[in-house]
Amino acid sequence: MTPSQLKPTAVPTLRQTARMIKHIKDTFERELAKELNLTRVSAPLFVETASGLNDGLSGVERPVEFVLGDSQANCQVVQSLAKWKRMTLWRYGFDAHEGLYTDMNAIRRDEVLGPLHSIYVDQWDWERIILPGERTLETLKETVRAIYRAFKATEASLDIESLLPEEILFMTSQELEDKFPHLSPKEREHAQLRECGALFLIGIGHPLQSGKPHDGRASDYDDWDLNGDILVYHAPGECALELSSMGVRVDREALLRQEELKGHPHDLSLHYYQGILNNEFPLTIGGGIGQSRMCMYFLQKRHIGEVQSSYWPQDMRDACREQGIILL
């Protein structure tokens, strides 16, 4: 597809938007796999509840659950594949510096609907094996830079004005709190992104000096000292837009430490946890990258419903129509 075929009119038609969405997704997926040496695999839409493989997110979100036919097996629609990916790398026999990625589709029933948030989640979930000596901040930063190169390559394939700065800024959540002590965490992100355009915010989950974490993170997959979010400035919404949450995954020591800090919320006798505690599963780095969020950013859409089909209450649909926002 040529750039002229991608270039939108002043107000793109739904068909033009659909064509551009496909181009963005195809291009980024290819660039991501190349940058991180990833193989595409098939992923589940649901997992058995007793497996413990579903992502607990910040610990308060309720997964969608159902009983599977005559088997009476209790299942949950996935919220992300953070745990499943690590076990799959082990099952499939991947080696160091190899990884996988997949299309992940999820339902997050407790999401507060708005311009940036939908109950339907579509993201690339990816995971890559690293060596023991690579569980470092530099490995995290190198991986972020690789993903950012994939963002830049995708942007370059579009006939649009450049949105991304040449380099992404790295900052810890404590540094951000110190810089904007009187703002809320989200307000800090907005303020910083207005200055820099693209930010990787390091260290999500641990309490800051204020006594509260920048944001919630489950205790059983990311190492809170070696994780973070990729954020960009979204001009139509005049706000920070999170494109990715990622991190070096917990080893035995980090898992036990974070479980204790959280009050031991998980059953560590389950296979996933035993695989980590017994050093059976590989050490990894991984994360999720929002597909609709990325399309929203590059196409400068004001509402995520302009790039994905989801549920929106009628009053929101009416309000969007009055503002000239066409929801899919």
Question: What integer pLDDT is reported at residue 153 of this predicted model?
Answer: 97
| pLDDT tens-digit readout, 199-217 | 999 999 999 999 999 998 8
165-170 own/partner pairs: CB under 8 Å, 24+ apart: 165/196, 165/197, 165/198, 167/198, 168/144, 168/198, 168/199, 168/200, 168/230, 169/196, 169/198, 169/199, 169/200, 170/141, 170/144, 170/199, 170/200, 170/202
pLDDT for residue 126 is more than 80: yes
List residues bridging with 241 in a β-sheet: 232
Q: Walk me through the domains of the chain, giving residue ranges and CATH numbers.
A: 3-322 (3.30.930.10)
Average pLDDT on 108-126 reads 91
| pLDDT tens-digit readout, 87-99 | 999 999 999 999 9
The set of catalytic residues is 55, 108, 123, 229, 242, 245
Question: What integer pLDDT is reported at residue 10 of this predicted model?
Answer: 56
pLDDT for residue 8 is more than 50: no
pLDDT for residue 5 is more than 60: no
pLDDT for residue 69 is more than 70: yes
